[in-house]
Structure 1
Amino acid sequence: MKKLFAVLGNPIGQSMSPQMHNDLFAYYNIDAHYHPLLVKVESLADAVKGLKAIGASGFNVTVPHKSSIIPLLDEIDPLAREIGAVNTVVNQDGKLIGYNTDGPGFLKGLNRLLPEIKGKNILIIGAGGATRAIYFTLAKAGAKNIDIYNRTAARAQELINSCSFPVISNAVSMERAEGSLDQYDLIIQTTLIGMFPNTGEKPLDLEGVKSGCVVCDIIYNPLETMFLHNAKKKGLPIQNGIDMFVFQGAIAFEKWTGIFPDTDRMKKNVLKQLGGTIC
């Protein structure tokens, strides 16, 4: 019997997950199909109940449901509960178990450039939902210091206060962040600044960043933001948002099937969907 997987969100038409996962099912000869499902906020409970009733093997969750789905599930992974968001659900013998693979996906993709997080000094730009998943995951992984720069300092401090993992963190201003760039081993841009069509924007200036600092931007449209372009001009190792997207999907696929998939194949699939060019 063909297994059913899905992604729940609103909007959902832009999701690259169906093509990515269906290609993997075919590649590994798994009799399954992954469907995009447009689910309105008021219909989420019915959608989850329906997927459970028909025996769906698992599903992804995207905006705006990552937090509101938590009380509808039978069990929540500890990291997902700490983050307060679920993006992957596994049906284990009729029990719906929620996970967050966004943070772990970012970390796994980052390992190619930075194999060890423990003891590192990190600056994160932004304080939204993606920031929370990344921040909690890096804190759990043993980062020494994680500073957060956000235009609204109170929101950055609120995020810091909500983290139970032992890590030194400060909510910093743009001036303080730019004046301390020489102390960071990793800088992560998590806001929408620089996303298409506003490709000329950047969140801060990289003057003074130390040699060898890894610079990430979780945006992938364009594939190289102005922020990453400036980092590359300085000879710094850079990474866009494709790796995070691919590896969060790979971890979800492994939880559903027991197979950790070919991430190079996944990346090629995503690039094909994006047109394979910098917008």
Structure 2
Amino acid sequence: MAERISGKTQLIGLLGTPISHSLSPKMHNEAFAKLGLDYVYLAFDVGNEQLEDVIKGYRALGVRGSNVTMPNKVLVKKYLDKLSPAAELAGAVNTIVNDDGVLTGHITDGTGYMRALVEANVDIIGKKMTIAGAGGAATAICIQAALDGVKEISIFNKKDAFFDRAEQTVQDINAKTDCKAQLFDLDDVDALRAEIADSVIFTNATSIGMKPYVGQSVVPDASYLRPDLIVSDVVYIPTKSHLLGMAEGVGCETINGLGMMLWQGAKAFEIWTGEEMPVDYIKELLF
């Protein structure tokens, strides 16, 4: 790393909390080194309270770009100059690029999730999925799945600040795509059981299962699952969340969050650098 950093090295950041577990710095720095690109990627433990000041600092310092993760994906759009069409529709941002002081927000979570399914030889086009979560990543996944041709999506979330936004997501999907979307209260366990029973895939797109919620699951117990159900989780540390452990015990095919993390990162890498990430090299190195 010391040999690579120069007076011309451009900074790319990662904003979120907690953040020390993230594999993104290693992934991107190894990719920069492999391609000989003069960038460095650093993680910053930043929550909503510091976010506005940090974005002002990015602009003042000429930082090339950033990833944004929980809990900042929704709030950060307030402090940017422009949003990509996908970020506008999702109402969330996970990637920022700075072009001569103009900060544009993108969302790559949805494309990353769908590409991860393709890489796992899982086809959900024309089929039904049930998903837990209504935050930035969950919203991006739902919108991309609908745009790509998923037939029906049942969204579950607690009646918190994200629930109202999820109602808007459902309206957008139903109005702008051929997909049928519905929203349910995550505390309605009977509805959760019924919707999972009618789906080919169940996805956890909440932070339940990672720190500080390790050992917890959005699904109350394994009786909600069945052997021919595919179960995926956006959580990648631990690589086997409690949900995926339960699913394996039932005989389900499982997919953790590593693939989504890789492919959303690859798209962000391309946005910042104009180059394709050496994905096969990164897979070998990290996974």
Category of TM-score, reference length = shorter chain = 0.7 to 0.9
- TM-superposed deviation, 1:24: 0.9
The answer as to 2:129 corresponding to 1:122 is yes
- Partner of residue 154 from structure 2, selected from 137, 140, 147: 147
In structure 1, what is the equivalent of residue 72 of structure 2? 65
- TM-superposed deviation, 1:263: 3.1
- Partner of residue 190 from structure 1, selected from 205, 211, 214: 205
What is the TM-score when the length of structure 2 is the normalising length?
0.80
- Partner of residue 105 from structure 1, selected from 102, 112, 122: 112
**CA separation of 1:160 and 1:26: change in aligned 2, threshold 3 A:** same
Q: What code does the residue aligned with 1:174 have? A: V
8 A contact 1:160–1:169 mirrored in 2? no
- Partner of residue 170 from structure 1, selected from 170, 176, 182: 182
Q: What code does the residue aligned with 2:31 have? A: L
Q: Distance in 1 between matches of 2:89 and 2:230?
A: 26
- TM-superposed deviation, 1:198: 4.3
In structure 2, what is the equivalent of residue 256 of structure 1? 272
User: What is the percent sequence identity of the aligned residues?
Assistant: 34
Q: Distance in 2 between matches of 1:3 and 1:158?
A: 35
Q: What code does the residue aligned with 1:169 have? A: A
Q: What code does the residue aligned with 1:222 have? A: P
In structure 1, what is the equivalent of residue 62 of structure 2? 55
Q: Distance in 1 between matches of 2:210 and 2:20?
A: 19
Q: Distance in 2 between matches of 1:126 and 1:40?
A: 19
- TM-superposed deviation, 1:125: 2.2
In structure 2, what is the equivalent of residue 237 of structure 1? 253
In structure 2, what is the equivalent of residue 137 of structure 1? 144
- TM-superposed deviation, 1:80: 0.8
- TM-superposed deviation, 1:128: 3.5
What is the TM-score when the length of structure 1 is the normalising length?
0.82
Moved more, 132-141 or 25-34: 132-141
8 A contact 2:205–2:233 mirrored in 1? yes
Secondary structure of 1:69 counterpart: helix
**CA separation of 1:181 and 1:59: change in aligned 2, threshold 3 A:** closer
In structure 2, what is the equivalent of residue 179 of structure 1? 194
- TM-superposed deviation, 1:56: 2.1
- TM-superposed deviation, 1:147: 0.9
In structure 2, what is the equivalent of residue 277 of structure 1? none
* Structure 1 gaps, min length 5: 272-279
How many residue pairs match? The answer is 271
**CA separation of 1:52 and 1:159: change in aligned 2, threshold 3 A:** same
In structure 1, what is the equivalent of residue 34 of structure 2? 27
Q: Distance in 2 between matches of 1:202 and 1:51?
A: 36
* Structure 2 gaps, min length 5: 1-7
Secondary structure of 1:162 counterpart: helix
In structure 2, what is the equivalent of residue 275 of structure 1? none
8 A contact 2:74–2:136 mirrored in 1? no
In structure 2, what is the equivalent of residue 218 of structure 1? 234
8 A contact 1:181–1:210 mirrored in 2? no
Task: Kindly report the root-mean-square deviation, in angstroms, between the aligned alpha carbons of the 2 structures.
Answer: 2.9
